Structure 1
Amino acid sequence: MKWERNRGILNNVLESVGLTPMIRLNKVVNQGGPEILVKMEFTNPSGSLKDRVVYRIVDEAEKQGLLKPGMILMEGTTGNTGIATCMVGAVKGYHVIIVMPEGMSEERKKTIQAYGAELILTPGAETDVDLVLEEVARQKAKFGDQVFEIGQFVRPENADSHYLNTGPEIWEQTSGQVDVFIMCQGTGGTVTGTARYLREKNPDIKILVSEPKESPILAEGKIGQHKVQGIADGLIPEILDLELIDGIIQIASDEALHMARKLARQEGIFCGISSGCNVAAAIKAAQLFPRARQIVTMVNDNGLRYLSTELCGPPQQRQGLEREYAISSEDQARLKARDFLIIE
């Protein structure tokens, strides 16, 4: 990895994507157990790990002639991928249209608009991404071949960005001492790409996924409303490789919120709620695998994206719609083929 790149002058902000720091947690963890390390993905230029994904997808689309000057970048998102799309679009000169649930944080909405993108809101919150994707389909039909959809839930470049970069960075930063990797599941790209690389380097590494206890789609095949913005979107994405996953760690929304606050107050890491979910899961994993040398997880984004949420204020009502949620028959079949270790 070219860690020395930041010593010089970069040509544009996209060249600063990736090569994020790794930090050892000292105060929120139990002493005497495995080291718990967090990869600081909010140091990416738009503030989340999704910069890796969007940059890779757009770059490959341009090389293949699928994306040309004058076209529109479009994406359905719960926030971070949309913001990353706005940043990449701004640098490359594309008009951007973002479709997002109305229940996401005000900071996400304002950040998207600050980049000059067009924002379309749909009903609901995290678990209502199906409605977002329906609106994306309507917008694509309206604009026709003028649109290039980022397609984070289906494009293999999502996972490739982590296989080619995130995984190797983790392996190099830990000198190959990582025994457990933990990541929450949104699109599944980070889990799939990073796990694939790390397992090639160490077939015995444990790969665990954290998910909100209120919406245990992988653990129990159930969808519910929760407060962890950006994950557990109410579907099992095509690019999520279930064969790579050893176990699921369930973390209640309030537990994730509590850990995110602790990280700010005790470690100086002001992060989002999904990062609290990851670290809470890593602490549980340390109890389950006490002989592990290092446990690695991700700080996905910055707490500044959550100032108007319960992370920084009083308890709030969940923003999801009052409707029946059920996973598809295809997703049910995928889950039946796997027997995960479930950790509560």
Structure 2
Amino acid sequence: YGVLVDKLLSGQFDPTRQKALWPSTGNYCRGGAFNSALLGCPSIAVLPEEMSRERFEWLEKIGSEVVKTPGCESNVKEIYDKTKELKEQRGDEILVLNQFEEFGNPLWHYAITGPAMEEVFGQESKNQEKFRGLFLTQGSAGTLGAGDYLRKQFPLIKIAAGEALQCPTLLRNGYGGHRIEGIGDKHVPWVHNIKNMDMVIAIDDEVPMRLLRLFNEEEGQKYLIQEGVPQDIVEKLPLLGISSIANIAGAIKMAKYYEWTEKDVVFTLSTDSAAMYGSRIEEDREKRGDYTKTKAAIDFERYLRALNKDDILELTYYEKRRIHNLKYFTWVEQQGKSVEELDEQWYSEEYWDKKLNRADELDEQIEEFNRAVGILDKMLS
């Protein structure tokens, strides 16, 4: 919504003659297609063919045009290539809304997700608990915009970005395919404020894939209750999709690294539920067989209780700069961004605040727009 509304208000997008094109490996194109439908805007979703079956079914149901590209989660270049091809073919008939470079993406999380976390902490914290950390896996880095807001409210917090161990771009300048749908796309997004990061944590993709079955299979849930996990918590575990489980795992690793206790609070979030990954559970069932109590015990011990401090990097100034420099190869060499703006992202004290702290300005424009087209008067009458 943050990306789409900015284009509507500025007149850059005309839904009467254009389609909004949402290039994505995961939930961004779902959210884009959903908001497009709500606002009566036609949409195109471009995503890799190896994403879960449920994603494609959902997009078709919402009425979006769906374009599949070769590869898996980390094959973002193929998405860029297809997006460029579609733009060349259709010209002004489409407007590309690229989550990796549109500041409406982190702006939304700066204005909404960050304050929501602050509100939850205020309501739920007790016994002198402290807001210690924020862990979020990096997909487009939009959600990490919440960290820019939270840094202002809680200056001493630690902020960690996560990725798949099989594609350790931030950790080791690495690359590779992986199975954590929605994150880890072999590059550093233009909208990611690297200077605001304190830590990078890599998650082995086997962790969320195994825990997906532990959390959703009957024998897995029984075993968790047997091990003392409250039943009301177990009943909510299907609300966690694959990348959400990776977020939980990363938050645990972060807490262990800093030796936090029950008085130290670390936030993360669930970006989607297991409803999008039923086919992944079926595939694993065909590969490994039925889920038994023994398998549940193994997965619980090996992939949850044994989570450790491996594959963690606490960032120095120059390690942050090394990650920031990776933007050059994607965005300056390939996507036409300027070196001057890349340097401004790093050196300017005002750059990120100007980009992200625009919610009040947009709200005024929305009200003015709605009044001009008569929607506001109709709603108030």
- Asked if TM exceeds 0.5, the reply is yes
* 1:275-308 Cα shifts (integer Å, max 9, x gaps): 1111111111221222462111111101111111
Which residue identity does 1:279 align to in structure 2? I
Matched residue SS, 2:75: helix
Map of 1:1-344 to 2, 5 A cutoff? 55-70=1-16, 71-175=18-122, 177-191=130-144, 193-264=145-216, 265=221, 266=224, 267-268=234-235, 269-270=237-238, 271-289=240-258, 290-291=260-261, 293-310=264-281, 313-314=284-285, 330=329
Q: What RMSD in Å do the two structures reach over aligned CA positions?
A: 2.4
Code of the residue aligned with 1:179 in structure 2: it is R
More helix by share: 2
Query: 1:190 is paired with a residue of what secondary structure?
Result: coil
- Output the amino acid matched with 1:301: D
For the 8 Å contact 1:259–1:277, the answer to whether it is kept is no
Which is worse superposed, 239-248 or 141-150?
141-150
Alpha carbons 1:215, 1:222 under 8 Å: kept: yes
Report the Cα distance in structure 2 between the residues aligned to 1:288 and 1:173, rounded to whole angstroms.
24
| Aligned residue in 2 for 1:4 | none
Contact 2:46–2:79 (Cα < 8 Å) also in 1: yes
Alpha-carbon offset, residue 250 of structure 1: 1.6
Residue matched to 1:14: none
| Of 203-212 and 143-152, the range deviating more from structure 2 | 143-152
The 8 Å contact of residues 126 and 234 in structure 1, kept in 2 or not, is answered as no
Cα deviation digits, residues 205-260 of structure 1 (max 9, x gap):
00011211111110001011111111101111111111111111121111122334
Partner SS for 1:210: strand
Structure 1 stretch displaced more, 70-79 or 193-202: 70-79
Question: Structure 1 pair 257/278, CA: closer, same or farther in 2 (3 Å)?
Answer: same
Cα drift, residue 312 of structure 1: 6.6
C-alpha contact (below 8 Å) 2:190/2:327 kept by paired residues: no
Q: Partners of 1:262 and 1:196 in 2: how far apart? A: 34
Contact 1:101 1:128 in 2 (8 A): yes
Give the drift of 1:262: 4.1
Distance 1:206 1:260, change over 3 A: farther
More divergent stretch after superposition (235-244 vs 250-259)? 250-259
Residue 110 of structure 2 contacts residue 148 of structure 2 at CA under 8 Å; is this kept in 1?
yes
Higher relative contact order (CA 8 A, sep 6+): 1
How far, CA to CA, are the matches of 1:312 and 1:202 in structure 2?
43
Specify the SS of the correspondent of 1:126.
coil
Aligned to 2:20, the other structure's residue is in SS state strand
Structure-2 separation of matches of 1:263 and 1:288: 25
Contact 2:54-2:279 within 8 A present in 1 as well: yes
Distance 2:330 2:286 in 1: 33
Deviates more, 1:303-312 or 1:143-152: 303-312
Q: Whole-Å Cα distance in 1 between the matches of residues 75 and 330 of structure 2?
A: 16
Contact 1:102 1:124 in 2 (8 A): yes
How far apart are residue 328 of structure 1 and its match? 7.4
1:328/1:59 CA distance change after superposition, 3 Å: closer
Following the alignment from structure 2 to structure 1, what is the Cα–Cα distance between the partners of residues 205 and 249? 11
Amino acid at match of 1:214: Q
> CA shift at 1:311, angstroms?
7.5
Is the 8 Å Cα contact of residues 72 and 96 (structure 1) preserved in structure 2?
Answer: yes
Which SS does the other structure have where 1:234 is aligned? coil
Taking structure 1 as the reference length, the TM-score comes to 0.73
Q: Deviation per CA, 1:312-338: give whole Å up to 9, x if none.
A: 73377xxxxxxxxxx77636999xx9x
Kindly indicate whether the alpha-carbon contact (under 8 Å) linking 1:221 and 1:332 is maintained by their aligned counterparts in 2.
Answer: no
Structure 1 contact 259–280 (Cα < 8 Å) conserved: no
| Matched position secondary structure for 2:77 | helix
Secondary structure at the counterpart of residue 158 of structure 1? helix
Q: Structure 1: where are the runs of 5+ without partners?
A: 1-54, 317-326, 338-344
State the structure with more CA Rg: 2
TM-score between the two structures when normalised by the length of structure 2:
0.67
Whichever residue aligns with residue 132 of structure 1, its letter is I
Amino acid at match of 2:248: V
**Matched residue of 1:250: which SS?**
strand
Contact 2:148/2:196 (<8 A) preserved: yes
User: 2:320 — aligned with what?
Assistant: none
CA distance in 2, matches of 1:152, 1:129: 12
